Every structure is written in structure tokens, then in C-alpha cells.
Amino acid sequence: MSHAILSPSAASRWLTCTPSARLELQFENVESDFAREGTLAHAICECLLNGYLQSGSPFLTISEWKFFKEQEFYTEAMYEHCQAYASYVLSFFAEGDILKVEQRIDLRALIPESFGTSDSYIYKPFTKHLHVFDLKFGKGVPVSAEGNKQLKIYALGILEELLCFYDVETVTLHIYQPRIQNNSDFTISVKELLAWRKEIEPLAKLAFDGEGEFVAGNHCLFCRAKATCRALADYNTELAKHDFNNPNLLEDAEIIEIIERKGIFESWIKAVAEHALNEALKGKAWPGYKLVEGKSNRQYKDQGEIVRNLLKNLNFGYVSEIYKPQELLGITELTKKLGTDNFAKYVEPFLVKPKGAPTLVPVSDNRPVFSNSQSDFNDGFSEEDSWDI
């Protein structure tokens, strides 16, 4: 699948660090398993919504069902999440509305040579309201609809087409992220959206030309150039260059600054290490380092042959003596096996949820404040627990 140089999905990066889009072109765009999983989920959602448009019911055809069940990343849980997304979109749809699914959007009027694909949108002519939906199937990074640059760009592209025929006054952006129950929406007027367009057009021109200043930050998380980007390296190492008033102790503000950079710092360290390894595999010699075989654990080659050999040569009364006792599948695997509804009906009543260990998060997190009593604090908390930032 081809991608625009200035992809809407990466807008939060190239609108902030304008030279990054051109810099990324030097690096191979490798599709991860997470991306392939997301692509499959989007394909299922597309069929469900198109099924509704064709028959009035959001279901797969028999051939579609058979096809998806044979795909590598398909699970019953994925299908249920896709059904939930389709139901969410259709909850905003009424007779007389316009529903478009997986619509290619021409964005060249505001971003040079750019295009994208909107997961789905609904235009409600009676209320002059546009709803733009985006399915986020990942579960690693929560995404918010509020001020979401990708969705605002899609909305502007959709408006380019709609305003030729219809009157639109209000736009609502929707993020649906079912695997971490992170769903949100954000409403903005068309007037505000068009004003924002004027702000980003010169930045898009700079980005397309590969000009402007490199600016590092959390938007670098998925940048293909992050392993060798000097701006990101400087950003991550500048804390060590501070002239602290007390060289033995960090101040509170300094601690908070370090915590806030934890995610991008860890991601950067991992990317640099992977880059060095890949270059070494290609023949590069790094000063002071060498390429060796990593550690590995022994594993059984033929369990059946081992069992037959043991029973033949050793005095085992029962085969069960050399097998682990039968164990119930883990919660995640059992949920996939049974499906979300069956799991909730037959298993959840027998689950217990211990009190979670204290975790430091930004104040924007919607979880209640932890009860800071000594008994609560000591319950299940150890030095090995990490910051959840």
C-alpha cells in the first residue's frame, strides 16, 4: 500500500518537526505484526458497515466470514471488537444521512501530494453535522479525539467534497480504541476547522520541502529515523547536561521532567540498540563491540519420543508423573477461546481483581487518586514495580 509523504496519520509529527517526513524516506518502512493486525480489523469493519448499507444488517457474508477466519491474526475477540465499532458508528446513523466507509480522501488542496483513507464518516444534512470516525485497534498508546490532527485533516478533506453540495456547520471527531476501552469524541465548528487549516498550510509546505527545524519530543515515538536522529539524541541526553544547584540531589521539577520523558527515552534506547544490531548483521564493526550468539534456553525436540523412552527405561507407574498438572488457559487466551460474551457470562463471576500496586501517572489520567495509607501502599508493591508513564 502506498503512503503519502505527508501522511495524515503522522501529522502530529511532521507538523511539529517539519523536516522529519523527508528524513524518514531514507529508512525502510517495515510493516509490523501490529500494523497487519490493525489492517485486518479495519477490513472486517469495512465489510460489516458495507453489509449494513447493502442489506440493512451489519453482518459478514458467508464467504467473508470464511476468508477472515483463515487469516493469521483473526480471533473471535477481534471480530467482537469490530462488531462493537460498527454498532458505535451506526448509532449515529439515521434515515436520510450519508454514510461513507473506507473512503479515499484527496488532501492535495491543503497538503502537497497528500491523500488518506477515512475509516468512516456520517453526514447528517438535517442538522448540518459531520461525524468522522477512526478505529484504533492498537492497545499500546491511548489516542484522544480532542484536537486530533489526523482526524482534523481528514475532516478538512471531507469538507472539500461536501461543501460543494451541502452545508456543514459542525464536525465531531471520534476515536474508537476498543482493546483498552479508550473511546472519545471532540466537537469543533467548521469555522474553527477552517481557521486551523490556515495555520497548517505553511507548515505542510515546509514539511514537503524538507525544510524547517528538527524538534524532538513524544511525537518521535513512531518516527523511522529516531535511532540515528541527532535532535532526538540531544533531547534525550540534555538532562544530563544541566548544571544542577545541588549535584547530589535532583529537584522535584527535574524528577518530573525525567518521568515525562520516560516513554520516548526507552523507545529511543531500544531503537538505537536495534539499529546497531542490524548494522552489525550487515557487516559493520562497532568499536568495542562484537557480534555473538545470544543466550537461548534448551527445549524439547520430540516430547513423544522422550515419554516413550522414559516409560521404557524407568519405572513410572503413570504417565502423569512426568507431565505438569492440567492448567486452565490464561485469562487473555481463554477470552479469545470463548469470545467476550461467553467469557463475561460464565467466567467473570468467578474472577477476583487484587488491588493494583501504586502507579505514578499524569493528572490527566481518569483513574481515581490512590489511597495513600500504609497498609494499602505495602499491599502487593515491591521495588520491581515500574512507573506507568
Q: Give yes or no for residue 371 having a pLDDT over 70.
A: no
Is there a single domain that holds both residue 277 and residue 308? no
| Last-in-domain residue among 167, 187, 209 | 209
Query: Is 376 contained in some domain?
Result: no
Is there a single domain that holds both residue 338 and residue 272? no
Is there a single domain that holds both residue 265 and residue 322? no
Range in 93-107, 205-219, 309-323, 364-378 the model is least confident about: 364-378
Question: Which pLDDT does position 121 carry in this prediction?
Answer: 97
Query: Is 169 contained in some domain?
Result: yes
Question: Which pLDDT does position 370 carry in this prediction?
Answer: 66
pLDDT exceeding 70 applies to what percent of the chain?
87
Question: Which pLDDT does position 246 carry in this prediction?
Answer: 63
- Over residues 254-259, the mean pLDDT reads 81
Query: Is 181 contained in some domain?
Result: yes
Is there a single domain that holds both residue 188 and residue 57? yes
pLDDT digit string, tens, across residues 8-53: 999 999 999 999 999 999 888 888 888 899 999 999 999 999 999 9
Is there a single domain that holds both residue 166 and residue 38? yes
Is there a single domain that holds both residue 89 and residue 180? yes
pLDDT averaged over every residue in the chain: 84
Range of the domain at 234: 219-281
Is there a single domain that holds both residue 245 and residue 340? no
Is there a single domain that holds both residue 275 and residue 149? no
Question: Which pLDDT does position 381 carry in this prediction?
Answer: 35
Query: Is 378 contained in some domain?
Result: no
Question: Which pLDDT does position 243 carry in this prediction?
Answer: 56
Is there a single domain that holds both residue 68 and residue 163? yes
**Position 74 confidence tier, pLDDT thresholds 50, 70, 90:** very high
Is there a single domain that holds both residue 27 and residue 133? yes
Is there a single domain that holds both residue 189 and residue 135? yes
Query: Is 152 contained in some domain?
Result: yes
pLDDT digit string, tens, across residues 296-343: 777 777 888 877 777 777 776 666 677 777 778 888 888 887 888 888
- Please give, one letter per residue, the 3-state secondary structure of the chain: CCCCCCCHHHHHHHCCCCCHHHHHCCCCCCCCHHHHHHHHHHHHHHHHHHHHHHHCCCCCCHHHHHHHHCCCCCCHHHHHHHHHHHHHHHCCCCCCCEEEEEEEEECCCCCCCCEEEEEEEEEECCCCEEEEEEECCCCCCCCCCCCCHHHHHHHHHHHHHHCCCCCCCEEEEEEEEHHHCEEEEEEEEHHHHHHHHHHHHHHHHHHHHCCCCCCCCHHHCCCCCCCCCHHHHHHHHHHHHCCCCCCCCCCHHHHHHHHHCHHHHHHHHHHHHHHHHHHHHCCCCCCCCCCCCCCCCCCCCCHHHHHHHHHHHCCCCCHHHHCCCCCCCCHHHHHHHHCHHHHHHHCHHHCCCCCCCCCCCCCCCCCCCCCCCHHHHHCCCCCCCCCCC
Is there a single domain that holds both residue 28 and residue 144? yes
Q: Give yes or no for residue 386 having a pLDDT over 50.
A: no
Query: Is 294 contained in some domain?
Result: no
- Over residues 78-88, the mean pLDDT reads 94
Question: Which pLDDT does position 376 carry in this prediction?
Answer: 41
| Last-in-domain residue among 209, 235, 257 | 209
Q: Give yes or no for residue 245 having a pLDDT over 60.
A: no
- The tally of domains found in the chain comes to 3
- Over residues 218-230, the mean pLDDT reads 89
pLDDT digit string, tens, across residues 99-155: 999 999 999 999 999 999 999 999 999 999 999 999 999 887 889 999 999 999 999
Query: Is 371 contained in some domain?
Result: no
Range in 43-47, 96-100, 347-351, 380-384 the model is least confident about: 380-384
Q: Give yes or no for residue 157 having a pLDDT over 50.
A: yes
Question: Which pLDDT does position 250 carry in this prediction?
Answer: 76
Query: Is 298 contained in some domain?
Result: no
Q: Give yes or no for residue 375 having a pLDDT over 50.
A: no
**Position 214 confidence tier, pLDDT thresholds 50, 70, 90:** very high
| Last-in-domain residue among 209, 232, 262 | 209
